[in-house]
Structure 1
Amino acid sequence: MNIVKIVMRNVKRRRLSTSLTATSVALGVTLFVAIGVLRQASEQGFQRTAGICDTIVGAKGDSLQLSLNTLYHMGFSAGNISLGSFNDIRNQDGVAWAAPIALGDSYRSHRIIGVSSEFFEQINIAGSGDLRFSEGGPFDFSTNQFVEEHEHLFGEQDAGHDHEDDEHVSYQAVIGANVAAKLRLKVGDKIVPTHGVEKSTEQHHDAASEIIGILESTGTPIDRAIYIPIIAYYKMEGHVTDHEAEFEGTRDARGISAIMLSTKPGYYRQQIYRNINNRLDAMAVFPSIEMRKLFKLIGSGDMVLRIISLLVVVVALVGVLVSLYNAMDARRKEFAILRALGASRRSVMIIVSLESAIIALIGAVSGVLFASLAALALATELHAFSGVTINVSLGVEEIYLIAIVTLAGALAGLIPALEAYRTEAAKQLSSNV
């Protein structure tokens, strides 16, 4: 007697009941797996971006907001750092490099970021190395040039003179891979920045910038950004008015939004971190630590959701038990016939328990597959929103989960299996004579 064939025949014969019960198991498994896979992959993707630089420096405020705004282009800048403070910080012993960042404009929902050449020269993407170009190349505008032109520009404004545009340097742009693909832009095209990062109709027609380079895909928010020489940001009409220039510190419109910096090996990292945070006008944050804090916070919510999803699986397995138990009265004659054909009580018990295990197995495997599809879809949405690429992959944990759910299904089938075990073949057959 082939027990497996009998079990598979019974499962197919009760197709509707099997499908509904397996689906309820699959829903719980889908939720459990999708939450775990997405959280792990998201944390890896965000940490990959956080590794772009050792430290971010910005105006005093919320450390997480500074990290998200500078690296992930989310939210708004809390304020500015004066040029004098920037020079003090970059000239500290132990600073390997420091790149100024200016934020506040956009082009068709993509952030425009003012940077110096050091950004392209020093940024290193974990796992893929330095920034590379698929077309064209970077603009040539160093941090030292920025400091000189910044002082010259505002010196002229203070004296009541208009600045002279340097079109060769100031009005060029480098775009990320996603920007090029989504907006169908190529080297030689021009873009006109829009004031602000929300939907706005106020365009900087005086600062139309020619695209001179397209970056290769990095799997980070860099892919969704547009980069211009940082001095161009200050030359745009309306960015710095006489009224705004009167403010100092975090409200100083002449200041820079943030600084990306890297330290030399050794004790310098902590020393520079302390020195900056002791200042009244700036703070330093370690983006990798901020991301760990963020995902630790998210992890609390994840745990609650995973517990709920496990309860869904448990309820579904109870449903398997109830479904098989309710069918026992109708199947007593079937078991009696099997006994009459030579099946032992143990074989009948195994058949019922195995049916329960197979239903759980179908649900678990389906749930893992559904979770993979759901995670891939959500990963695509996350990439579109944040620019962070997350690699969704299944591992040994999912195989263990399938095995555990299947075993739990077999155990859930023990109660109806014991009922089948106690079935008296002679009594059932004689009652139908």
Structure 2
Amino acid sequence: MSALWTVAWHSAWHRRFGLSVVVVSVALSTFLLLAVERVRHDVRENFSQAVSGTDLIVGARTGAVQLMLYTVFRIGNATNTIEWSSVKDLERDPAVAWVVPLSLGDSHRGFPVVGTTPLYFERFQYGARRALRFAQGKPFVGVFDAVLGAEVAARLGYGLGERLVLSHGKGEIAGTDHADKPFKVVGILARTGTPVDRSVHISLAGMQAIHLDWIAGMPLPGLAVPVDRVQEHDLTPKAVTAALVGLKSRVQVFSLQRRIAEYEAEPLPGVALDELWSTIAVGERALLIMSALVAMVSFAGLVAVIVTGLEQRRRELAVLRSIGAGPREILVLLITECILVTVLGALLGALACTAVVRLLGPWAEAEFGIGVRPAWPGATEWALLSAVVVAGIIASLVPGWRAYRMSLADGLSPKG
């Protein structure tokens, strides 16, 4: 058997330029399969860890995934807002235990700003219903107090008492900073491994205060409201981006969703987290199917290369037959070559997946707050690697059977 492996290796090496294309193709398909599985696993884990203990997310009329991505992960663009009166009506619903409003849209040096209430630090949970903790300081009390996520404080080198200036929107337009109303850091949250780490938290009153003299995203010329005059104005928010809702009983989720959908003042979709997971699962399956199709194309190319190469290898195979190799050994030889190509491609694909995840993982976490980390392959990834090798063996049966059927006379006296 070892002799066959040696012959197969030397034969494959002799045809290395043609087979290298197949190896790259198998490596690419393996890379896609493993990368999709790694991203799928880590994104789902990030999603499940990002928020827990919340039964509904209520926001303006938009897609469920878009609402979730922007509200929880701060990914995408701002949705429409919901009226503050609608939030108060939601709080009065008998099924509702608590409501945490969120106002988004501004930023500080690339980090999103979240306007909310002190209840956020009591009710927001992540992971296995873990509550937020303060590494330093306390929740905001004053209008211009700010609480930083751990990543914001670490990346910008901020500590308690630091003064910071917020930017309107993403701060991409010059002159849209709220420089006349700086905030003071009064608290820094402990690291959570969620988008909370990348957020600057202020009060809803503070969010309203910095926009008193703004309209349509721009400051009103000559109408600036100084900091010491802010308290003279009504700082009750007019609208918010969304609201996290906790219920007295989870069995009331669907009945509350129905009441929210029938709310007369404005359309308010209520998105249950379970619904979002099922929506994402559709995308996961689509990605896996696409990767499997790429793998099938790769193995079709492997079969084509080996079968085409048989026409040039008839004399080689005939010589092997003449020195005592039977049809069964020829079959094993072709299968062995395919296994070598498949295993090499699978290994290269696995190494490429690990390298890309290691290189791009920190960027994805810094940019989107979603950690994709290299890890020892799990059961599903080992199953995918095994499936790639098994598919290679199955693909090798076609050229192997063709070589098995070749006669010695045909090999010694090729046509043409």
TM-score by length of 2: 0.79
Q: CA RMSD in A?
A: 3.4
Given the alignment, which residue of 286, 291, 294 partners 1:306? 291
Corresponding residue number in structure 1 for 2:232: none
CA apart distance, 1:118? 1.2
CA apart distance, 1:37? 3.3
Q: After superposition, where does 1:173-252 map in structure 2 within 5 Å?
A: 173-200=146-173, 201-238=175-212
CA apart distance, 1:361? 1.7
Hey, what's the Cα distance between the residues in 2 that align with 1:350 and 1:311?
22
Hey, what's the Cα distance between the residues in 2 that align with 1:267 and 1:348?
65
Corresponding residue number in structure 1 for 2:307: 322
Mean Cα displacement is larger for which, 117-126 or 12-21?
12-21
CA-to-aligned-CA distance 1:4-32 (integer Å, 9 cap, x gap): 34434444454444433322221222223
Pick closer, same or farther for the CA change 1:374–1:273 going to 2, 3 Å.
Answer: same
Given the alignment, which residue of 403, 406, 415 partners 2:389? 406
Pick closer, same or farther for the CA change 1:407–1:387 going to 2, 3 Å.
Answer: closer
Hey, what's the Cα distance between the residues in 1 that align with 2:241 and 2:401?
71
Hey, what's the Cα distance between the residues in 1 that align with 2:18 and 2:293?
24
Corresponding residue number in structure 2 for 1:248: none
Pick closer, same or farther for the CA change 1:331–1:181 going to 2, 3 Å.
Answer: farther
Task: Give the residue type in structure 1 aligned to 2:328.
Answer: R
Hey, what's the Cα distance between the residues in 1 that align with 2:308 and 2:190?
56
Given the alignment, which residue of 292, 297, 300 partners 2:277? 292
Corresponding residue number in structure 2 for 1:79: 81
Task: Give the residue type in structure 1 aligned to 2:384.
Answer: L
Corresponding residue number in structure 1 for 2:26: 25
CA apart distance, 1:192? 0.3
**1:138 corresponds to 2:111:** no
Q: After superposition, where does 1:83-98 map in structure 2 within 5 Å?
A: 84-98=85-99
CA-to-aligned-CA distance 1:143-168 (integer Å, 9 cap, x gap): xxxxxxxxxxxxxxxxxxxxxxxxxx
Pick closer, same or farther for the CA change 1:322–1:266 going to 2, 3 Å.
Answer: closer
Hey, what's the Cα distance between the residues in 1 that align with 2:263 and 2:293?
46
CA-to-aligned-CA distance 1:344-366 (integer Å, 9 cap, x gap): 44334322321222212211232
Corresponding residue number in structure 1 for 2:245: 261
Corresponding residue number in structure 2 for 1:280: 264
State the SS of the aligned residue for 1:103: coil
Pick closer, same or farther for the CA change 1:237–1:28 going to 2, 3 Å.
Answer: closer
Pick closer, same or farther for the CA change 1:23–1:115 going to 2, 3 Å.
Answer: same
**1:371 corresponds to 2:344:** no
Asked if 2 retains the 8 angstrom alpha-carbon contact of 1:117 and 1:138, the reply is no
Task: Give the residue type in structure 2 aligned to 1:193.
Answer: L
Hey, what's the Cα distance between the residues in 2 that align with 1:46 and 1:239?
37
Pick closer, same or farther for the CA change 1:319–1:380 going to 2, 3 Å.
Answer: farther
Larger Rg: 1
Mean Cα displacement is larger for which, 374-383 or 47-56?
374-383
Pick closer, same or farther for the CA change 1:239–1:380 going to 2, 3 Å.
Answer: farther
Hey, what's the Cα distance between the residues in 2 that align with 1:415 and 1:233?
68
Hey, what's the Cα distance between the residues in 1 that align with 2:183 and 2:349?
50
CA apart distance, 1:40? 4.0
State the SS of the aligned residue for 1:275: helix
Asked if 1 retains the 8 angstrom alpha-carbon contact of 2:50 and 2:72, the reply is yes
Hey, what's the Cα distance between the residues in 2 that align with 1:86 and 1:228?
18
State the SS of the aligned residue for 1:206: coil
Hey, what's the Cα distance between the residues in 2 that align with 1:116 and 1:369?
47
Unaligned runs of 5+ in 2: 221-235
Task: Give the residue type in structure 1 aligned to 2:50.
Answer: T
CA-to-aligned-CA distance 1:313-372 (integer Å, 9 cap, x gap): 233322442364144135236514642xxx544334322321222212211232233234
Hey, what's the Cα distance between the residues in 1 that align with 2:394 and 2:58?
57
CA-to-aligned-CA distance 1:85-106 (integer Å, 9 cap, x gap): 3333223323222222222321
Asked if 2 retains the 8 angstrom alpha-carbon contact of 1:332 and 1:423, the reply is no
CA apart distance, 1:109? 2.0
**1:351 corresponds to 2:333:** yes
Asked if 2 retains the 8 angstrom alpha-carbon contact of 1:46 and 1:291, the reply is no
Pick closer, same or farther for the CA change 1:276–1:356 going to 2, 3 Å.
Answer: closer
Mean Cα displacement is larger for which, 367-376 or 355-364?
367-376
Task: Give the residue type in structure 2 aligned to 1:81.
Answer: E
State the SS of the aligned residue for 2:265: coil
Asked if 1 retains the 8 angstrom alpha-carbon contact of 2:317 and 2:330, the reply is no
Q: After superposition, where does 1:154-169 map in structure 2 within 5 Å?
A: 169=142
Hey, what's the Cα distance between the residues in 1 that align with 2:103 and 2:304?
59
Q: Identical aligned pairs, as a percentage?
A: 25
Corresponding residue number in structure 1 for 2:110: 109
Hey, what's the Cα distance between the residues in 2 that align with 1:298 and 1:109?
29
CA apart distance, 1:380? 4.1
Hey, what's the Cα distance between the residues in 2 that align with 1:62 and 1:401?
33
CA apart distance, 1:224? 1.6
Hey, what's the Cα distance between the residues in 1 that align with 2:61 and 2:331?
70
TM-score by length of 1: 0.77
Hey, what's the Cα distance between the residues in 2 that align with 1:402 and 1:69?
35
CA-to-aligned-CA distance 1:172-208 (integer Å, 9 cap, x gap): 2111222223333333322101122351332212321
